[in-house]
């Protein structure tokens, strides 16, 4: 999944939800369920997600929404071999980017 977020230090919960096309309630739920998502909170209590949080959210989204893992299955996968999950997800993301570029080139022909 390609997530279209501008390069910033912090993202509000609405920006994260919109980028992943999910409800803010799901973002809050996954924050509670997965300890790898740790947004900071400002003085008003608003969640501020970092680049690291977005990267981790992508991993969870890939496991749960795209690959069909249960929440417990995703937690186990992330716990048992997080490096492999991250590596595989990075490869898939790069390949999706290459595919998108090739489709653009094909459409121009």
Taking only the tens place, the pLDDT of each residue in 42-52 is 999 999 999 99
- Token digits of residue 17: 């939800």
Taking only the tens place, the pLDDT of each residue in 57-107 is 988 998 999 889 999 999 988 887 666 666 566 677 777 778 888 888 989
Q: Grade residue 8 by pLDDT with cuts at 50, 70 and 90.
A: confident
CATH of domain 11-108: 1.10.1660.10
Helix (H, G, I), strand (E, B) or coil at 12: strand
Q: Grade residue 4 by pLDDT with cuts at 50, 70 and 90.
A: low
Q: What is the pLDDT of residue 43?
A: 92
- Token digits of residue 35: 């300890």
* CA 62 – CA 85 distance, rounded (Å): 10
**What is the end-to-end Cα distance of the chain in Å, rounded?**
26
* CA 85 – CA 66 distance, rounded (Å): 13
Taking only the tens place, the pLDDT of each residue in 10-24 is 999 999 999 999 999
Instruction: Between 1 and 20, name the one with better pLDDT.
Output: 20
């Amino acid at each position: 999944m390609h997530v279209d977020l501008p390069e910033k230090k912090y993202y509000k919960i609405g920006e994260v939800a919109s980028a992943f096309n999910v409800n803010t309630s799901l973002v809050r739920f996954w924050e509670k369920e997965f300890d790898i998502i740790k947004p900071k909170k400002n003085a008003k209590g608003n969640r501020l997600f970092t680049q690291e949080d977005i990267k981790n959210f992508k991993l969870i989204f890939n496991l749960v929404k795209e690959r069909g893992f249960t929440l417990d299955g995703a937690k186990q996968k992330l716990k048992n071999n997080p490096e492999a999950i991250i590596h595989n997800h990075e490869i898939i993301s790069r390949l999706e980017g290459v595919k998108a570029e090739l489709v653009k080139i094909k459409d121009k022909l």
